[in-house]
Amino acid sequence: MESTKWYASKTMWANIIAGIVTVGSALGLKLPLDADTQVALVGGIMAVVNIILRLATTKPITGTNGT
């Protein structure tokens, strides 16, 4: 079965970006929303994004060692 490199995976990049936003917020990134609203929005948006990307996925991810 043909596979996708991890760095070409939209799901991986969506989760990397969400992680960066979450860490940035924890480190003091100021957004015009309170912390509870930020957590709810990021969690809800990521749930929807991951469901959509999972349904669109047709190939497995290949790791750095080729498996």
User: Which token pair is 24?
Assistant: 């940035």
Buried b (16+ CB within 10 A) or exposed e, 31-66: eeeeeeebeeeeeeebeebeeebeeeeeeeeeeeee
Query: Cα–Cα distance between 1 and 19 in angstroms, integer?
Result: 30
Global model pTM greater than 0.85: no
Average pLDDT over residues 47-65: 87
User: Per DSSP, what are the bridge partners of residue 61?
Assistant: 4
| 7 DSSP assignment | G
Residue that wins the pLDDT comparison between 37 and 30 = 37
